[in-house]
Amino acid sequence: MAASSILLGVNIDHSATLREARFRAHGGTCGGVIEPDPVTFALYAEKAGADSITIHPREDARHIRRDDVRRLRAVLQVPLNMEMACTADMIAFAREIRPAHVCVVPESREEVTTEGGLNAVALRAELAGLTAELAALEIAVSLFIDPEPEQIEAAAAIKCPYIELHTGAFANAYYDLSARASEIERLRKAAILGHEAGIGVNIGHGINYTNVRHVRDLPHINEMNIGHSIVSRSLFTGVDAAVREMKRLIQPEQ
Ligand code: PXP
């Protein structure tokens, strides 16, 4: 594979969404059966070449439960990336789990999935504290932010090792060619700015098997985090084929 190879982080949240659709009222299981088990999904993804596994234990545990994170942490070989809100409770949970990466996301109960980027400018003091605290535990923090210069400048001031640029606006604009072009340009400028500030640049949200070819040639991309599209395709092809195909598609052409 080329030296510029992009890493694939597989977000497994929606395998747990499917489980919760049947078992939510029963604490995630009836009599010990977990179907589908998000940990098994993660292990299949790992075997197929996922470079990391992402999970988002939300405050309302709507998909990933805390016990899923504990079980996953015990068996996963590749780095675990835990998305979390910047709250005292989640920081304590990160201390317990010690994932390789924490990606700080905004969280609101009303949204179905993470809709907007974090306001790193407004949360600068809290995020600086969190980044330093987790760095001392060898947990690298990433901030999930919109591709806006002031957000990247805030991440640099906080001394955050990574940012994850929110690709949701790009994905939503995909079928409007001029809006798509301007979203790609926004991401391109943000990736360059992040790189020049010495920050590792990841991207994620809404990337799928069709639109991925328009973001894989962005400069300086370290990792793509992709969930919904991979979990959806897995229903038809199995996890192995779904992950392998995405891993092939994320690689830049040049
Ligand atoms: N990155 C972050 C920070 C997310 O919160 C999510 C899920 O909302 C993703 C990536 C994956 O998004 P998707 O499931 O649309 O691929």
> Which of 17, 55, 83, 205, when mutated, tests ligand 1's pocket best, judged by the most ligand atoms within 8 Å of its CB?
205
26 Cα to the center of ligand 1, angstroms: 26
11 sits in which H/E element: strand 7-11
In the numeric block, the tokens 């991207």 are attached to: 203
Q: Confirm whether 205 is a catalytic residue.
A: yes
In the numeric block, the tokens 């192995």 are attached to: 240
Closest-CA residue, ligand 1 atom 12, reads 205
* Position 3 confidence tier, pLDDT thresholds 50, 70, 90: very low
> Which of 17, 59, 114, 208, when mutated, tests ligand 1's pocket best, judged by the most ligand atoms within 8 Å of its CB?
114
pLDDT of residue 108: 67
User: What CA–CA distance (Å, rounded) separates 199 from 207?
Assistant: 22
Q: Confirm whether 56 is a catalytic residue.
A: yes
204 Cα to the center of ligand 1, angstroms: 6
Atom of ligand 1 nearest to the CA of 164: 3
Would you say residue 53 has pLDDT above 70? Answer: yes
* Position 100 confidence tier, pLDDT thresholds 50, 70, 90: very high
Atom of ligand 1 nearest to the CA of 105: 3
Please state whether the predicted TM-score (pTM) of the whole model is above 0.85: yes
Q: What is the 3-state secondary structure (H, E, C) of 72-134?
A: HHHHCCCCEEEEECCCHHHHHHHHHHCCCEEEECCCCCCCCCCCCCCCCCCCHHHHHHHHHHH
CATH code matching the domain that covers 7-249, chosen among 3.40.50.80, 1.10.1200.30, 3.20.20.70, 3.40.50.300: 3.20.20.70
Atom of ligand 1 nearest to the CA of 231: 14
Active-site residue (options: 83, 107, 148, 164) = 83
User: What CA–CA distance (Å, rounded) separates 177 from 191?
Assistant: 21
* Position 219 confidence tier, pLDDT thresholds 50, 70, 90: very high
**For the chain, domain boundaries:** 7-249
* Position 123 confidence tier, pLDDT thresholds 50, 70, 90: very high
Would you say residue 115 has pLDDT above 70? Answer: no
User: Per residue in 59-90, pLDDT tens?
Assistant: 888 889 999 999 999 999 999 999 999 999 99
Would you say residue 249 has pLDDT above 80? Answer: yes
Residue 215 in contact with residue 167, Cβ under 8 Å? yes
